[in-house]
Amino acid sequence: MRNICVYQEFLTELHKAQIRETAERLGFAPHFFALDRFEEAKTCLQNCEVLYAHSPDLLRAAPVSLKWYCCSYAGVDPYCKDPSLFANPDCLLTNSNCYGVTIAEHVVMVLLMLLRRMPEYEAVVRNRGWSSQLPIRSIRDNEFTILGTGDIGSNVAERLRLLGAAKITGLSRSGQAREGFDEALPISRLDETLPQTRNLIMALPSTPETRHILNRARIALLPPGAYVVNVGRGTAIQQEPLAEALNAGRLGGAALDVTEPEPLPPDHPLWGARNILITPHVSGNMTLGYTCDRNVELFCRDLENYAAGRPLNGLVDRARGY
Amino acid sequence: MRNICVYQEFLTELHKAQIRETAERLGFAPHFFALDRFEEAKTCLQNCEVLYAHSPDLLRAAPVSLKWYCCSYAGVDPYCKDPSLFANPDCLLTNSNCYGVTIAEHVVMVLLMLLRRMPEYEAVVRNRGWSSQLPIRSIRDNEFTILGTGDIGSNVAERLRLLGAAKITGLSRSGQAREGFDEALPISRLDETLPQTRNLIMALPSTPETRHILNRARIALLPPGAYVVNVGRGTAIQQEPLAEALNAGRLGGAALDVTEPEPLPPDHPLWGARNILITPHVSGNMTLGYTCDRNVELFCRDLENYAAGRPLNGLVDRARGY
């Protein structure tokens, strides 16, 4: 039998049975370890060709014979940035496209909070005050630009369309058309897109190309009152000019589930910026049944591909970074 | 020409042109007054048979010859509770079903905020703190009970279905089946419905029957961790036991856009209750273009009905209260 090391906390007994059934049918033996059994997992890993985990430390301890590291997270920048984590330079790396639905629900929530001016209403109500109606905006009949058209961007686009959005533009490296977007553009056309973007949603991986892609100059290209939502990686935004644009009232508000660094230090200028909604990197929450089910399902599907020598669905280009 | 008094603040020039065109074609002359011209509106009203407004004070000044009061709000309880407002006891009263979309967006927002534990995350972030992931819930695969299946309840149901809800139960006086609900029940079956209701959305008019419909005994019937959203009228909930159930951790949270009274006095027990989201009666916001457009459109349609002697779409049963 070929061995698989599974080092995960979220698995139910049903998930384990599903993995075991798939693995054994394909000639693999899975070995399960909860996160408090790091040393045992490390020992077992020495005889494994597959690792299903999210642990740079465990990966670093893997032998050169490890052939596939299935990362259960979506963001794999820690692994792409540091090739020394892989003893085997040809080790396959996959990430998980299981977070689109829950992150899309987060985006719908924070977009509505910004459009409906919840930061201002909440400030009034916190002091047990009352307020008359402030001018709000709606998802219906509104226009959205989504940076990143992968699992997350596509799930966001789908929900905005269902809620009556008038136009959804998607930008990606290739600019390839994707279902659910009214318009698909290459990211090279970002500068000409921003002046028409009243609602910007960022769902980009962290790569050298996406670092500070929303920089001071591009923040200045957004129209007055624009809203910015980031659920990708904190590195995508130059944070000081964002805080300045919010405080100057140039932007309408921002919702950041990711920052640089995380946690954000207590004296960081983003704290207390005007109309900002910060959440502590929780949009891709792993506590939902359907997210966990899909994580396992995607692993099992790619195990079938791996066993058959077919390309893996979740394959990451380690040089490209996603 | 028969005269119409229009006493509204939100009308654009386009809206006025639309009303004028419809009215004149039907043999009516509309007279427009902004809210700062009360006395002029009152004088004009003496020769009008139709009033399009939301002003108990102006209605009280109307002559016995007023035949139709078109109220631009959805909630008409002030008019139904006080028959002395109408000099003409047979005066028709209509309300406006233009708020469903914006209130439904509010409900989606606050439901996601409760399900995704935003009150707790916001408390952490307010102190510039960070937090690990809390167990959350989702709209997808979740079940919802909606009290009130009119314009608002139906628009909420539609959006929850589009976002992947597993089951939506609607309760109304008649229990009549409505599009968008998986199950339609008469409100007399509320007691047997509550123990299975993890997410309760209330969109009821204020009538003697709905007063304190969610009373102490019924709050106790909800399962542990249930969420309550109210966008109808504050009178529908007995507020002290709601605050107690929240503070005891029996309920998961509540979002109230309506309270009793409004504004809520600073020493009211609802302020500061655990996991409560209070908004100052702003879900049916009148600042959105589509809400205002629809308000005017519904008035014009009913003016066609009125002129032709047909029943009015927005007709309120003044004795019933909605």
Q: Which amino acid is at B193?
A: T
**Coil, helix or strand for B248?**
coil
pLDDT cut 70: percent of chain A above it: 100
pLDDT cut 90: percent of chain B above it: 98
Residues in chain A closer than 8 A to B122 (CB atoms): 122
Residue A119: is the preceding peptide bond cis (ω within 30°)? no
Q: Which amino acid is at B282?
A: V
**Position A1 pLDDT exceeds 90:** no
Which of B9, B105, B285, B292 has the highest number of chain A CBs within 10 A, making it the mutation to test binding with A?
B105
Lookup: tokens for B17: 């042109």
Per the document, the length of chain B is 322
Report how far residue A223's alpha carbon sits from residue A195's, in angstroms, rounded to the nearest whole number. 5
Q: At what angle do helices A13-25 and A289-308 cross, to 10 degrees?
A: 10
Lookup: tokens for A69: 């590291």
- Strand positions, DSSP E, B226-287: 227-230, 253-256, 276-278
Report how far residue B145's alpha carbon sits from residue A295's, in angstroms, rounded to the nearest whole number. 30
Q: Which residue of B has its CA nearest to A116?
A: B106
Which of B35, B106, B112, B258 has the highest number of chain A CBs within 10 A, making it the mutation to test binding with A?
B112
Q: How do residues A271-281 score in pLDDT, each as one tens digit? A: 999 999 999 99
Contact A138 B266 (CB under 8 A): no
Name the minimum distance, in Å, from the CA of A112 to any CA of chain B. 6
pLDDT of residue A155: 97
Residues in chain B closer than 8 A to A116 (CB atoms): 105-106, 109, 282, 285
Name the minimum distance, in Å, from the CA of B301 to any CA of chain A. 23
CA atoms within 13 A on the CB side of A214: 33
Mean pLDDT of chain B: 97
**Position B1 pLDDT exceeds 90:** no
Report how far residue A134's alpha carbon sits from residue A121's, in angstroms, rounded to the nearest whole number. 9
Identify the band that residue B189 occupies on the pLDDT scale cut at 50, 70 and 90: very high
> What's the mean pLDDT in B84-97?
96
Report how far residue A177's alpha carbon sits from residue A165's, in angstroms, rounded to the nearest whole number. 18
Residues in chain A closer than 8 A to B136 (CB atoms): 102, 282, 285, 287-288
Q: What are phi and psi of B229, to 5 degrees?
A: -120, 130
Q: How do residues A157-212 score in pLDDT, each as one tens digit? A: 999 999 999 999 999 999 998 889 999 999 999 999 999 999 999 999 999 999 99
> What's the mean pLDDT in B18-26?
98
Say which residue the tokens 């929240």 belong to. Answer: B246
Contact status, residue A191 vs residue A145, Cβ threshold 8 Å: no
- Give the active site residue among B54, B137, B233, B294: B233
Please give, one letter per residue, the 3-state secondary structure of chain A: CEEEEEECCCCCHHHHHHHHHHHHHCCEEEEEECCCCHHHHHHHHCCCCEEEECCHHHHHCCCCCCCEEEECCCCCHHHHHCHHHCCCCCCEEECCCCCHHHHHHHHHHHHHHHHCCHHHHHHHHHCCCCCCCCCCCCCCCCEEEEECCCHHHHHHHHHHHHCCCCEEEEEECCCCCCCCCCEEEEHHHHHHHHHHCCEEEECCCCCCCCCCCECHHHHHHCCCCCEEEECCCHHHECHHHHHHHHHCCCCCEEEECCCCCCCCCCCCCCCCCCCEEECCCCCCCCCCHHHHHHHHHHHHHHHHHHHHCCCCCCECCCCCCC
Q: How do residues B300-313 score in pLDDT, each as one tens digit? A: 999 999 999 999 99
Residues in chain B closer than 8 A to A112 (CB atoms): 105-106, 108-109, 112
Give Cα separations from B156 to A193, B127, B231 (angstroms): 33, 34, 11
Q: Which of B134, B100, B107 minimizes the C-alpha distance to B277?
A: B107
Active site residue A106: no
Region of residue A75 (phi > 0: left; psi between -120 and 50: alpha; otherwise: beta): beta
Q: How do residues A28-69 score in pLDDT, each as one tens digit? A: 999 999 999 999 999 999 999 999 999 999 999 999 999 999
Report how far residue B246's alpha carbon sits from residue B176's, in angstroms, rounded to the nearest whole number. 32
**Chain centre distance of CA B123:** 29
pLDDT of residue B154: 97
Q: How do residues B31-80 score in pLDDT, each as one tens digit? A: 999 999 999 999 999 999 999 999 999 999 999 999 999 999 999 999 99
Decide if the complex's ipTM is over 0.90. Answer: yes
> What's the mean pLDDT in B140-154?
97
pLDDT of residue B162: 98
**Position B177 pLDDT exceeds 90:** no
Please say whether the dihedral angle defined by the alpha carbons of residues A211, A217, A222 and A227, taken in this order, is positive or negative.
positive
Strand B48-53, strand B28-33: pairing: unpaired
Instruction: Pick A108's closest partner by Cβ from B101, B112, B278.
Output: B112
Mean pLDDT of chain A: 97
Which of B133, B264, B277 has the highest number of chain A CBs within 10 A, making it the mutation to test binding with A?
B133
pTM of the predicted structure, to 2 decimals: 0.97
Contact A121 B279 (CB under 8 A): yes
> What's the mean pLDDT in B267-280?
97
> What's the mean pLDDT in A114-121?
98
Contact A109 B125 (CB under 8 A): no
Q: Which of A280, A300, A298, A224 minimizes the C-alpha distance to A106?
A: A280
Residues in chain A closer than 8 A to B288 (CB atoms): 136-138
